[in-house]
Amino acid sequence: MRLLISRALPDRVMAAAAERFELSTRDLDAPMSVEECRAALGEQDVIIPTLGDAFRAPAFEGVETPRCKLLANFGVGYNHIDVAAARAKGVAVTNTPGAVTDATADIAMTLILMTARRAGEGERIVRKGEWGGWAPTQMLGLHVTGKTVAIIGMGRIGQAIARRCHLGFDCRILYTARSDKDPGFPVERREMKDALAEADIVVMAVPATPETHHMIDAEALKSLQSHAILVNIARGDVIDEAALIDALQAKRFAGAGLDVYEFEPKVPAELIAMEHVTLLPHLGTSTLEVREAMGMMALENAIAFAEGRDLPNPV
């Protein structure tokens, strides 16, 4: 059975894939173009795609009956795949939930702490040789312990962030989701507007869908308190990036911590120019252990398909 893995994965995953499948890989670390996706749908039995590979509707147009019957996505977010278009052509889609949860929650904590405590700015000052020594009023940031944190999207990752904030930092947790949650410690559900207005720290943890596109827009940003910080570990387009830049430039709130960008990997020069913004290059799941676990999970879905078993992680 033919398997295409769209980007080089850790060695252990590649070796396991080569043992089980007739494996093709790409030399590029760049996303697959629509043309590449279309060709692969015609030639492969299974594809393991990942972030940015162009499996939206145009990839499925013109492929009458795809040879490929499974897109076993490497990653929990699959907004680069049009699941309905895939399904209409008989192509199933799976993802890698769970494997990414803790690592992504850890990056949310990194961004909360770095942004609240101005760590990026401080590091730049030290590296530039501009630090004049400790001073009582030097670089005062936001104290994190005991603050109110609003988590927008209280699924696997949102709850892992809530747990860290509540159990590790004594924070009060507000959240927005489509349904009630009981993670085993006190959390309070709010309408998003109310959560934004009440929180000291806001963390975005929703999937990118048509409903969540620009859910944080200029109007929503007006709800934030002036001392608040906003963190995004979800997907770039859940925040209107242009509106975010305007609000940050106007210093309407204290700062932002971003792991993801609306037009990734393009990071606007305006964001780079602002000291009260922490910018990470989509590091959410980037540890060897986690990338191996994600790869093995994607592969388990591919093997289940090859053996005619139920897919473990359908979306």
Which residues bind to ligand NAP, rule: CB under 6 A?
76-77, 97, 100, 104, 153-158, 176-179, 205-209, 211-212, 233-235, 259-260, 282, 284-285
Nearest residue to ligand NAP, using CB? Answer: 155
Q: Which two tokens stand for residue 100?
A: 């990414």
Nearer to ligand NAP, 104 or 278 (CB): 104
* CA 213 to mean position of chain CA atoms: 14
Question: Which of the following is catalytic: 117, 252, 276, 282?
Answer: 282
Minimum distance, C-beta of residue 77 to ligand NAP, in the bound complex (Å): 3
Q: How far is the CB of 61 from ligand NAP (least distance, A)?
A: 25
299 and 48 Cβ atoms separated by less than 8 Å:
yes
Catalytic annotation, pick one of 43, 198, 264, 292: 264
**Catalytic: which of 235, 262, 291, 300?**
235
Min separation Cβ 214 and ligand NAP, Å: 12
Distance, CA of 230 to CA of 224 (rounded, Å)? 9
Residue showing tokens 């859910």: 215
Q: How many beta carbons lie within 10 A of that of residue 100, not counting itself?
A: 23
* 282 carries an active-site annotation: yes
Least distance (Å) between residue 73 CB and ligand NAP: 11
For 8-47, b where at least 16 C-beta lie within 10 A, e where not — what string? ebbeebbebbeeebebebbeeeebbebebbbebbeebbbb
- Is 276 annotated in the active site? no
Please give the sequence-ordered ranges of beta strands (E in DSSP) within the chain, or none if there are none. 2-5, 22-25, 46-48, 70-72, 92-94, 148-152, 172-176, 188-189, 201-204, 229-232, 255-258, 277-279
Q: Any catalytic annotation for residue 264?
A: yes
Catalytic residues: 235, 264, 282
